[in-house]
Amino acid sequence: MDLRPGFEALLRELVTLGAPASLIKQVAEMEAPEVRNWIETVDDSPYSVSEWAEALVQFSNWERTGRSLPLKQKREYLCCCVEGTGGQSALLPLTSLLEHYLNTHGVRD
């Protein structure tokens, strides 16, 4: 499986969205296994790469409240948000799901 197209698409979306440089750096420095996990996660979800990138930027904005999570934990948290939809056909935007989960459940260590 060639990871470059999905990886490059995620980076491109983050740059286009004006993501914080620290987030872009974290994504750019991911090792191959984590890149594979990200690409598989995006591919297995009903959301596009751009929606995942938007959610990552939103997560970075949330971190300004004082919490900071490693990129892997952000992916896992977003996966939980997606799984929480239960396969509903009328999906909320991923950013809305993230906001709901952060406000309702917060983040546990």
Q: Kindly report, residue by residue over 43-74, the tens digit of the pLDDT.
A: 888 899 999 999 999 999 888 877 888 999 99
Question: Could you tell me the pTM of the whole model?
Answer: 0.87
| Structure tokens belonging to residue 54 | 């938007």
Is 88 within 8 Å of 41 (Cβ atoms)? no
Identity (one letter) of the amino acid at 106? Answer: G
| Structure tokens belonging to residue 48 | 């596009």
CA–CA distance, 109 with 97 (Å, rounded to integer): 20
Is 14 within 8 Å of 23 (Cβ atoms)? yes
Q: How far is CA 92 from CA 14, 26, 82, 96, 100, in A?
A: 21, 27, 10, 6, 10
**Average pLDDT in the 4-33 region?**
91
- pLDDT recorded at residue 1: 59
